[in-house]
Amino acid sequence: MMRKRLFIFTFLAFQVVVSAQQRTILPYSVFGIGEINSKGFVRNLGMGRSGIALSSGRYLNNLNPASYCSIDSISFFFDFGLSADFVKYETASDPLQHGTDVNLRNIAMGFRISHNWSASIGIAPYSTVGYKIVTEEELEGTANEKYQAVITGNGGLNQFYWNNSYLLFNRLSLGVNFTYLFGNVESTETISYYKFNSNIISKQTSYLNKVYADFGIQYFFPVKENLQVTLGGVFGNSHKLNFNEKITIAGSDGDLTEDEITRNGTFDFPMYIGGGIALVFKNRITFSADYLFYDWSQTTSENPEFNYKSNNTFKVGVEYIPGRYNQLGYFGSISYRAGYYYEESYLEIDKHTIADNGITLGLGLPFLQNKTSINIAYNVGVNGTLNNGLIKENYNSIMVSLTLHDWWFLKRKFD
Protein backbone atom coordinates (compact mmCIF):
# COMPACT_ATOMS: atom_id res chain seq x y z
CA MET A 1 0.00 0.00 0.00
CA MET A 2 2.80 2.42 0.87
CA ARG A 3 4.55 1.85 -2.47
CA LYS A 4 1.33 2.45 -4.40
CA ARG A 5 0.88 5.75 -2.59
CA LEU A 6 4.49 6.69 -3.31
CA PHE A 7 4.11 6.03 -7.03
CA ILE A 8 0.95 8.18 -7.15
CA PHE A 9 2.65 10.93 -5.14
CA THR A 10 5.68 10.79 -7.44
CA PHE A 11 3.50 11.30 -10.52
CA LEU A 12 1.74 14.30 -8.95
CA ALA A 13 4.99 15.81 -7.68
CA PHE A 14 6.51 15.39 -11.16
CA GLN A 15 3.89 17.83 -12.43
CA VAL A 16 4.82 20.25 -9.64
CA VAL A 17 8.52 20.20 -10.58
CA VAL A 18 7.80 20.87 -14.24
CA SER A 19 5.36 23.72 -13.61
CA ALA A 20 6.57 25.36 -10.41
CA GLN A 21 10.36 25.35 -10.21
CA GLN A 22 10.61 29.11 -10.72
CA ARG A 23 12.93 31.42 -8.82
CA THR A 24 12.34 35.12 -9.24
CA ILE A 25 15.67 36.82 -8.46
CA LEU A 26 18.77 35.30 -10.04
CA PRO A 27 20.86 38.13 -11.55
CA TYR A 28 23.39 35.96 -13.36
CA SER A 29 20.67 33.80 -14.92
CA VAL A 30 20.26 36.47 -17.61
CA PHE A 31 23.27 34.81 -19.29
CA GLY A 32 23.49 31.38 -20.88
CA ILE A 33 21.02 28.68 -19.83
CA GLY A 34 20.52 30.21 -16.38
CA GLU A 35 21.93 29.41 -12.98
CA ILE A 36 22.94 25.74 -12.82
CA ASN A 37 21.69 24.07 -9.64
CA SER A 38 24.00 21.95 -7.54
CA LYS A 39 23.37 18.20 -7.76
CA GLY A 40 23.06 15.91 -4.80
CA PHE A 41 20.51 15.22 -2.09
CA VAL A 42 20.33 16.95 1.28
CA ARG A 43 22.90 14.59 2.83
CA ASN A 44 25.38 15.65 0.12
CA LEU A 45 24.47 19.31 0.58
CA GLY A 46 25.26 19.08 4.29
CA MET A 47 28.69 17.65 3.42
CA GLY A 48 29.85 20.52 1.24
CA ARG A 49 27.88 19.21 -1.78
CA SER A 50 30.35 16.31 -2.04
CA GLY A 51 29.69 12.63 -2.70
CA ILE A 52 31.26 11.22 -5.89
CA ALA A 53 32.73 8.41 -3.76
CA LEU A 54 29.87 8.08 -1.24
CA SER A 55 27.71 4.96 -1.21
CA SER A 56 25.16 4.08 1.44
CA GLY A 57 22.43 1.60 2.20
CA ARG A 58 20.42 4.38 3.89
CA TYR A 59 20.58 7.34 1.48
CA LEU A 60 20.28 8.04 -2.23
CA ASN A 61 23.09 9.86 -4.05
CA ASN A 62 22.74 11.12 -7.63
CA LEU A 63 26.27 12.55 -7.80
CA ASN A 64 27.50 9.19 -9.10
CA PRO A 65 25.29 6.59 -10.84
CA ALA A 66 27.57 3.85 -9.42
CA SER A 67 26.63 4.74 -5.82
CA TYR A 68 23.42 2.68 -5.51
CA CYS A 69 25.08 -0.73 -5.15
CA SER A 70 24.80 -0.53 -1.34
CA ILE A 71 20.98 -0.69 -1.39
CA ASP A 72 19.97 -4.11 -0.09
CA SER A 73 17.55 -6.41 -1.93
CA ILE A 74 14.52 -5.75 0.30
CA SER A 75 14.76 -1.96 0.62
CA PHE A 76 12.83 0.70 -1.27
CA PHE A 77 13.66 4.41 -0.83
CA PHE A 78 11.75 7.55 -1.72
CA ASP A 79 13.37 10.98 -1.29
CA PHE A 80 11.53 14.29 -1.43
CA GLY A 81 13.49 17.53 -0.93
CA LEU A 82 12.71 21.25 -0.57
CA SER A 83 14.93 24.32 -0.32
CA ALA A 84 14.48 27.91 0.86
CA ASP A 85 16.94 30.66 -0.12
CA PHE A 86 17.37 34.03 1.59
CA VAL A 87 19.61 36.31 -0.49
CA LYS A 88 21.05 39.83 -0.19
CA TYR A 89 22.13 41.45 -3.46
CA GLU A 90 24.47 44.42 -3.74
CA THR A 91 26.67 46.29 -6.20
CA ALA A 92 29.42 48.81 -5.63
CA SER A 93 26.97 51.68 -6.28
CA ASP A 94 23.52 50.35 -5.27
CA PRO A 95 22.24 49.54 -1.76
CA LEU A 96 21.28 46.07 -0.59
CA GLN A 97 18.22 44.35 -1.98
CA HIS A 98 16.64 41.19 -0.60
CA GLY A 99 15.09 38.14 -2.18
CA THR A 100 13.46 34.95 -0.89
CA ASP A 101 12.63 31.77 -2.81
CA VAL A 102 11.18 28.41 -1.84
CA ASN A 103 11.59 25.58 -4.34
CA LEU A 104 11.27 21.85 -4.83
CA ARG A 105 14.77 20.32 -5.01
CA ASN A 106 14.24 16.70 -5.98
CA ILE A 107 11.97 13.68 -6.13
CA ALA A 108 13.61 10.27 -6.40
CA MET A 109 13.15 6.55 -5.80
CA GLY A 110 15.87 3.94 -5.25
CA PHE A 111 15.66 0.13 -5.22
CA ARG A 112 17.45 -3.13 -6.04
CA ILE A 113 16.43 -4.78 -9.34
CA SER A 114 18.53 -7.96 -9.20
CA HIS A 115 21.38 -9.42 -7.18
CA ASN A 116 23.99 -7.01 -8.57
CA TRP A 117 21.84 -4.35 -10.23
CA SER A 118 20.41 -1.34 -8.36
CA ALA A 119 18.70 1.73 -9.77
CA SER A 120 17.19 5.11 -9.00
CA ILE A 121 14.64 7.19 -10.89
CA GLY A 122 14.22 10.88 -10.19
CA ILE A 123 13.53 14.39 -11.35
CA ALA A 124 15.20 17.64 -10.31
CA PRO A 125 15.73 21.18 -11.63
CA TYR A 126 18.93 21.45 -13.70
CA SER A 127 19.04 25.22 -14.24
CA THR A 128 16.82 28.16 -13.31
CA VAL A 129 16.17 31.53 -14.94
CA GLY A 130 14.60 34.44 -13.04
CA TYR A 131 15.42 38.13 -13.39
CA LYS A 132 13.98 41.61 -13.96
CA ILE A 133 15.92 44.55 -15.44
CA VAL A 134 14.57 48.10 -15.74
CA THR A 135 16.55 50.55 -17.88
CA GLU A 136 16.14 53.88 -19.64
CA GLU A 137 17.66 54.25 -23.10
CA GLU A 138 18.07 57.26 -25.37
CA LEU A 139 15.83 57.16 -28.43
CA GLU A 140 18.03 57.19 -31.52
CA GLY A 141 17.73 60.35 -33.62
CA THR A 142 16.30 62.50 -30.82
CA ALA A 143 17.74 64.96 -28.34
CA ASN A 144 17.34 63.76 -24.74
CA GLU A 145 14.28 61.67 -25.58
CA LYS A 146 14.27 58.43 -23.59
CA TYR A 147 12.18 55.29 -23.48
CA GLN A 148 11.88 52.72 -20.71
CA ALA A 149 12.68 49.04 -21.25
CA VAL A 150 11.67 46.34 -18.76
CA ILE A 151 13.28 42.94 -19.38
CA THR A 152 12.09 39.88 -17.47
CA GLY A 153 13.22 36.28 -17.70
CA ASN A 154 11.90 33.02 -16.31
CA GLY A 155 12.00 29.29 -16.91
CA GLY A 156 14.81 26.79 -16.75
CA LEU A 157 15.74 23.20 -17.50
CA ASN A 158 14.61 20.04 -15.69
CA GLN A 159 16.32 16.65 -15.65
CA PHE A 160 14.49 13.34 -15.51
CA TYR A 161 17.06 10.61 -14.90
CA TRP A 162 17.49 6.87 -14.50
CA ASN A 163 20.65 5.91 -12.59
CA ASN A 164 21.93 2.31 -12.73
CA SER A 165 24.63 0.59 -10.67
CA TYR A 166 26.08 -2.85 -11.34
CA LEU A 167 28.36 -4.45 -8.74
CA LEU A 168 31.32 -6.58 -9.85
CA PHE A 169 33.52 -8.69 -7.55
CA ASN A 170 31.90 -7.09 -4.46
CA ARG A 171 34.32 -4.17 -4.73
CA LEU A 172 33.82 -2.53 -8.12
CA SER A 173 30.60 -0.74 -9.01
CA LEU A 174 29.93 0.54 -12.53
CA GLY A 175 27.25 3.12 -13.20
CA VAL A 176 25.38 4.59 -16.15
CA ASN A 177 22.91 7.44 -15.99
CA PHE A 178 20.30 8.12 -18.68
CA THR A 179 18.94 11.66 -18.57
CA TYR A 180 16.18 13.47 -20.42
CA LEU A 181 16.92 17.19 -20.18
CA PHE A 182 14.02 19.48 -21.09
CA GLY A 183 12.53 22.89 -20.43
CA ASN A 184 12.15 26.39 -21.78
CA VAL A 185 13.75 29.79 -21.22
CA GLU A 186 11.62 32.88 -21.80
CA SER A 187 12.76 36.50 -22.07
CA THR A 188 10.26 39.35 -22.44
CA GLU A 189 11.14 42.99 -23.20
CA THR A 190 8.47 45.67 -22.78
CA ILE A 191 9.25 49.10 -24.30
CA SER A 192 7.31 52.16 -23.10
CA TYR A 193 7.46 55.62 -24.73
CA TYR A 194 5.01 58.41 -24.08
CA LYS A 195 4.48 59.12 -27.80
CA PHE A 196 3.54 55.48 -28.53
CA ASN A 197 -0.13 54.50 -28.43
CA SER A 198 0.78 51.24 -26.70
CA ASN A 199 3.75 49.38 -25.33
CA ILE A 200 5.82 47.20 -27.64
CA ILE A 201 6.32 43.69 -26.27
CA SER A 202 9.02 41.40 -27.63
CA LYS A 203 9.02 37.83 -26.34
CA GLN A 204 11.72 35.25 -27.05
CA THR A 205 11.08 31.66 -25.97
CA SER A 206 13.59 28.83 -26.38
CA TYR A 207 12.45 25.22 -25.97
CA LEU A 208 15.31 22.83 -25.24
CA ASN A 209 15.58 19.04 -24.91
CA LYS A 210 18.09 16.20 -25.13
CA VAL A 211 18.50 12.55 -24.13
CA TYR A 212 22.04 11.57 -23.14
CA ALA A 213 24.07 9.21 -20.97
CA ASP A 214 26.95 9.71 -18.57
CA PHE A 215 28.95 7.27 -16.47
CA GLY A 216 30.38 6.57 -13.03
CA ILE A 217 32.59 4.15 -11.17
CA GLN A 218 33.31 3.35 -7.52
CA TYR A 219 35.94 1.01 -6.09
CA PHE A 220 35.81 -0.07 -2.43
CA PHE A 221 38.72 -1.51 -0.51
CA PRO A 222 39.57 -1.91 3.18
CA VAL A 223 42.88 -0.35 4.18
CA LYS A 224 42.96 -1.84 7.66
CA GLU A 225 40.49 -2.92 10.29
CA ASN A 226 37.64 -0.42 10.75
CA LEU A 227 38.77 1.76 7.83
CA GLN A 228 37.31 1.54 4.33
CA VAL A 229 38.35 3.71 1.39
CA THR A 230 36.24 4.33 -1.69
CA LEU A 231 37.47 5.90 -4.90
CA GLY A 232 34.90 7.35 -7.28
CA GLY A 233 34.87 8.81 -10.75
CA VAL A 234 32.30 10.35 -13.11
CA PHE A 235 32.44 11.21 -16.80
CA GLY A 236 30.07 12.78 -19.29
CA ASN A 237 30.83 13.39 -22.94
CA SER A 238 29.97 16.62 -24.72
CA HIS A 239 26.66 16.67 -26.57
CA LYS A 240 24.39 19.03 -28.42
CA LEU A 241 21.18 20.20 -26.79
CA ASN A 242 18.39 20.71 -29.32
CA PHE A 243 16.49 23.99 -29.19
CA ASN A 244 13.59 25.63 -30.97
CA GLU A 245 13.41 29.39 -30.62
CA LYS A 246 10.36 31.58 -31.22
CA ILE A 247 10.40 35.39 -31.27
CA THR A 248 7.14 37.33 -31.13
CA ILE A 249 6.70 41.12 -31.39
CA ALA A 250 3.31 42.67 -30.65
CA GLY A 251 1.60 45.75 -29.26
CA SER A 252 -0.01 45.68 -25.83
CA ASP A 253 -3.36 46.93 -27.26
CA GLY A 254 -3.36 44.54 -30.19
CA ASP A 255 -2.98 47.28 -32.84
CA LEU A 256 0.47 46.11 -33.89
CA THR A 257 0.43 43.08 -36.17
CA GLU A 258 2.08 40.09 -34.55
CA ASP A 259 5.33 39.09 -36.20
CA GLU A 260 6.63 35.60 -35.41
CA ILE A 261 10.10 34.31 -36.21
CA THR A 262 11.13 30.72 -35.55
CA ARG A 263 14.53 29.06 -35.79
CA ASN A 264 16.04 25.72 -34.81
CA GLY A 265 19.54 24.94 -33.65
CA THR A 266 21.74 23.26 -31.09
CA PHE A 267 23.52 24.33 -27.93
CA ASP A 268 26.85 22.70 -27.04
CA PHE A 269 26.89 21.08 -23.61
CA PRO A 270 30.36 20.47 -22.11
CA MET A 271 32.34 17.34 -21.48
CA TYR A 272 32.96 16.87 -17.76
CA ILE A 273 35.12 14.62 -15.64
CA GLY A 274 35.44 14.30 -11.89
CA GLY A 275 36.93 12.23 -9.12
CA GLY A 276 36.36 11.73 -5.43
CA ILE A 277 37.53 9.87 -2.36
CA ALA A 278 35.65 8.77 0.75
CA LEU A 279 37.08 7.36 3.98
CA VAL A 280 34.83 5.62 6.50
CA PHE A 281 36.21 4.85 9.97
CA LYS A 282 34.28 2.45 12.23
CA ASN A 283 31.07 3.37 10.38
CA ARG A 284 31.06 6.53 12.49
CA ILE A 285 33.25 9.09 10.74
CA THR A 286 32.98 9.65 6.98
CA PHE A 287 35.25 12.03 5.05
CA SER A 288 34.44 12.98 1.45
CA ALA A 289 36.32 15.11 -1.13
CA ASP A 290 35.49 15.79 -4.80
CA TYR A 291 36.98 17.55 -7.82
CA LEU A 292 35.11 18.30 -11.07
CA PHE A 293 36.15 19.90 -14.36
CA TYR A 294 33.71 21.13 -17.04
CA ASP A 295 35.08 21.90 -20.51
CA TRP A 296 32.99 24.77 -21.92
CA SER A 297 35.67 25.75 -24.45
CA GLN A 298 33.66 24.38 -27.40
CA THR A 299 30.54 26.42 -26.53
CA THR A 300 30.31 29.83 -28.20
CA SER A 301 28.24 32.86 -27.19
CA GLU A 302 26.31 35.08 -29.56
CA ASN A 303 26.15 37.78 -26.88
CA PRO A 304 29.29 40.00 -26.78
CA GLU A 305 28.71 40.68 -23.06
CA PHE A 306 29.72 37.19 -21.95
CA ASN A 307 31.60 34.04 -22.93
CA TYR A 308 31.52 30.46 -21.73
CA LYS A 309 34.48 29.41 -19.60
CA SER A 310 35.81 26.01 -18.54
CA ASN A 311 35.47 25.76 -14.78
CA ASN A 312 36.71 23.82 -11.75
CA THR A 313 34.84 22.73 -8.64
CA PHE A 314 36.25 21.63 -5.26
CA LYS A 315 34.13 20.11 -2.47
CA VAL A 316 34.93 18.57 0.89
CA GLY A 317 32.72 17.28 3.70
CA VAL A 318 32.57 15.18 6.87
CA GLU A 319 29.87 13.21 8.66
CA TYR A 320 30.01 12.03 12.29
CA ILE A 321 27.70 9.56 14.06
CA PRO A 322 28.58 9.41 17.78
CA GLY A 323 27.34 5.88 18.47
CA ARG A 324 24.43 3.51 18.61
CA TYR A 325 21.08 4.33 20.16
CA ASN A 326 21.41 1.79 22.98
CA GLN A 327 24.73 3.34 24.03
CA LEU A 328 24.16 7.09 23.83
CA GLY A 329 20.40 7.50 23.34
CA TYR A 330 18.76 9.09 20.33
CA PHE A 331 21.35 11.89 20.01
CA GLY A 332 24.01 9.26 19.50
CA SER A 333 22.28 8.00 16.35
CA ILE A 334 22.03 11.45 14.69
CA SER A 335 24.37 12.18 11.77
CA TYR A 336 26.23 15.49 12.18
CA ARG A 337 27.62 16.97 8.95
CA ALA A 338 29.75 19.88 7.76
CA GLY A 339 31.56 20.89 4.57
CA TYR A 340 33.02 23.52 2.25
CA TYR A 341 32.80 24.08 -1.52
CA TYR A 342 34.31 26.35 -4.17
CA GLU A 343 32.67 26.41 -7.60
CA GLU A 344 33.86 28.55 -10.50
CA SER A 345 31.15 29.89 -12.78
CA TYR A 346 30.81 28.71 -16.37
CA LEU A 347 30.34 32.38 -17.36
CA GLU A 348 32.94 35.05 -18.13
CA ILE A 349 31.14 38.42 -18.01
CA ASP A 350 32.88 41.33 -19.77
CA LYS A 351 36.09 39.27 -19.51
CA HIS A 352 35.71 38.93 -15.73
CA THR A 353 35.19 35.65 -13.86
CA ILE A 354 33.04 34.93 -10.82
CA ALA A 355 32.82 32.07 -8.33
CA ASP A 356 30.48 30.62 -5.72
CA ASN A 357 31.82 29.40 -2.37
CA GLY A 358 30.42 28.63 1.05
CA ILE A 359 30.22 26.39 4.08
CA THR A 360 27.52 23.89 4.99
CA LEU A 361 26.14 22.22 8.10
CA GLY A 362 23.72 19.32 8.25
CA LEU A 363 21.82 16.82 10.37
CA GLY A 364 20.44 13.37 9.64
CA LEU A 365 17.57 12.51 12.01
CA PRO A 366 16.82 8.77 11.80
CA PHE A 367 13.58 6.96 12.56
CA LEU A 368 14.13 4.01 14.90
CA GLN A 369 11.83 1.48 13.19
CA ASN A 370 13.53 1.41 9.77
CA LYS A 371 15.87 3.43 7.53
CA THR A 372 13.54 6.40 7.17
CA SER A 373 15.16 9.73 8.05
CA ILE A 374 14.70 13.48 7.94
CA ASN A 375 17.73 15.36 6.61
CA ILE A 376 18.43 19.05 7.12
CA ALA A 377 21.21 21.16 5.62
CA TYR A 378 22.15 24.81 6.11
CA ASN A 379 24.30 26.66 3.61
CA VAL A 380 25.87 30.12 3.86
CA GLY A 381 27.81 31.41 0.90
CA VAL A 382 28.82 34.18 -1.50
CA ASN A 383 28.30 34.21 -5.26
CA GLY A 384 29.77 36.89 -7.50
CA THR A 385 31.77 40.00 -6.67
CA LEU A 386 31.49 43.77 -6.24
CA ASN A 387 34.42 44.34 -8.60
CA ASN A 388 34.03 45.52 -12.19
CA GLY A 389 30.42 46.60 -11.73
CA LEU A 390 29.18 43.05 -11.04
CA ILE A 391 26.67 41.81 -8.46
CA LYS A 392 27.51 40.11 -5.18
CA GLU A 393 25.03 37.67 -3.67
CA ASN A 394 25.23 36.80 0.04
CA TYR A 395 22.88 33.90 0.62
CA ASN A 396 21.61 31.59 3.32
CA SER A 397 19.85 28.39 2.27
CA ILE A 398 17.94 25.77 4.22
CA MET A 399 17.31 22.37 2.62
CA VAL A 400 15.05 19.70 4.06
CA SER A 401 14.32 16.22 2.75
CA LEU A 402 12.27 13.26 3.85
CA THR A 403 13.86 9.93 2.95
CA LEU A 404 11.17 7.26 3.27
CA HIS A 405 12.12 3.60 3.54
CA ASP A 406 9.96 0.53 3.03
CA TRP A 407 10.66 -3.21 3.01
CA TRP A 408 10.07 -5.17 -0.20
CA PHE A 409 8.81 -8.78 -0.27
CA LEU A 410 8.19 -9.05 3.48
CA LYS A 411 4.85 -10.40 4.61
CA ARG A 412 3.37 -8.78 7.70
CA LYS A 413 2.14 -11.08 10.48
CA PHE A 414 -0.53 -8.60 11.51
CA ASP A 415 -2.46 -6.00 9.51
The model's pLDDT over 278-293, given as tens digits with 9 standing for 90+, comes to 999 988 999 999 999 9
How far apart (Å, rounded) are the C-alpha atoms in residues 166 and 313? 27
Give the mean model confidence (pLDDT) for residues 335-360. 93
Residue 290's nearest CA partner among 309, 269, 272, 268 is 272
> Would you state the pLDDT for residue 257?
55
How far apart (Å, rounded) are the C-alpha atoms in residues 43 and 55? 11
For residue range 35-90, list pLDDT tens digits in order.
Answer: 899 899 999 999 999 999 999 999 999 999 999 999 988 889 999 999 999 988 88
Residue 265 pLDDT level (bands cut at 50, 70, 90):
confident
> Would you state the pLDDT for residue 300?
87
**Which class would CATH give 2-407?**
mainly beta
Kindly tell me the burial class for residue 59, based on how many C-beta atoms sit within 10 Å of its own C-beta (0-12, 13-18, 19 or more): buried
pTM above 0.85, yes or no: yes
pLDDT over threshold 90, residue 136: no
Q: Where are the domains of the chain?
A: 2-407
For residue range 171-192, list pLDDT tens digits in order.
Answer: 999 999 999 999 999 988 888 8
